[in-house]
Amino acid sequence: MAKTNRRWSEIATNIAIVFVSLSSLFATVSWIASSRASGPANDHKTAALAFMMLRLEAATDTYTKTSEANVYLTTAELFLIQAQSTDNAELKSYLENRAFNMAQQANFNLLYAENAENLSNTYSDKVTESLGIAETFGKQAETRSTGAILFTITAIIGSCGTLLKRREIVLAALPLFAIAAYYLMTSFLI
């Protein structure tokens, strides 16, 4: 009977040693994978911030150029009103020419504003895209670090089983090892 208990104790110790080694290995892999996922998450958050700034600049340009176009159109109307009220042909021609130039400048500013608005929309889409990618990488990093913590706890429990030479302790850590493995595997599917 003593020999059987000793044999089970040796088997439990050997299993625990393998178990601790695997848990430590997977914990290391999980930590490395977590840090590799958190780096791109931060990069995409920074990119989203840059796109927000570019979007703000484009939206400001849109507003500014639209306002300038309105000023040019108002000025052009004033020149036309003055041209209609004068009898001097040379002055009338000059005022009409100025009104035409103002209208051209207004047209240019409206086209510029339209282009800036398109850029603003593009940057807005890029912000949404970057934040979505950052969220995905963030979830991966979070899931992998949870797996790493669980693997580390499993290794500690397995070490206790080895030191105390109790297979019950090692068997109690098996469900925790399975949960940690689940977290690690699902983190690669996100």
- CATH 1.10.10 holds for 2-187: no
pLDDT > 90 fraction of the chain, expressed in percent and rounded: 48
Distance of CA 137 to the CA centre of its chain: 7
Question: How many residues are recorded in the chain?
Answer: 190
- The most confident of the ranges 11-15, 119-123, 155-159 is 119-123
Check whether 161 has a pLDDT greater than 90: no
Q: Which two tokens stand for residue 54?
A: 């570019």
And the tokens for 13?
């110790």
Confidence of residue 167 (pLDDT cuts 50, 70, 90): low
**Domain definitions of the chain by residue range:** 2-187
pLDDT band for position 5 (50/70/90)? low
Say which residue, 82 or 158, is predicted with more confidence. 82
Is 117 within 8 Å of 28 (Cβ atoms)?
no
